[in-house]
Amino acid sequence: MADSTITVDDIEGELFKIERIKDVLVRRESELRYMMDDIQLCKEITRLKKELHKLVSIPDNDKSNDDRQKEEELLQQIHKLVETRDFLVDDVEFERLREKEEDKEMADFLRSKFPINMKKTASLKTV
């Protein structure tokens, strides 16, 4: 079963490739979760804005105390959701920068560990 032409370096190289693929998939899963959270927040903000618009369209003279209280509650809820979304966007940007740095470190490591394999890979990419 073992091929005598395969070296430990070849096996390590393949393991690094597999680990890299796994990292890419984990990152993509994380991005999709962020996107789902963002979509849910936007939907909720839109729903609350529509509800608020209905209350705001009522003339002040016709508004009840409950209407005014509901307006205030809606404004607070919208504000809270917008802050949550801002935090989410900041978190996504932080993750993107962290991943970029990890990619650079991994590329540097692979170049130092497998200089011959990296040259082969680079020459294949340019073809």
* pLDDT score recorded for residue 2: 56
* pLDDT score recorded for residue 94: 93
- Averaged confidence pLDDT in the chain: 87
> Looking at the predicted structure, is the pLDDT value of residue 117 above 80?
no
Q: What is the pTM of this model?
A: 0.70
> Is the distance from CB of 16 to CB of 110 less than 8 angstroms?
yes
Q: How confident is the model at residue 3 (pLDDT cuts 50, 70, 90)?
A: low
> Looking at the predicted structure, is the pLDDT value of residue 81 above 50?
yes
Give the span between the Cα atoms of 110 and 104, in whole angstroms.
10
Contacts 24+ apart (CB under 8 A), 33-36: 34/88, 34/91, 34/92, 34/95
> Is the distance from CB of 45 to CB of 86 less than 8 angstroms?
no
> Looking at the predicted structure, is the pLDDT value of residue 54 above 90?
yes
> Looking at the predicted structure, is the pLDDT value of residue 122 above 70?
no
Interacting residues of 81 by C-beta distance below 8 A, sequence separation 6+: 41, 44, 45, 48
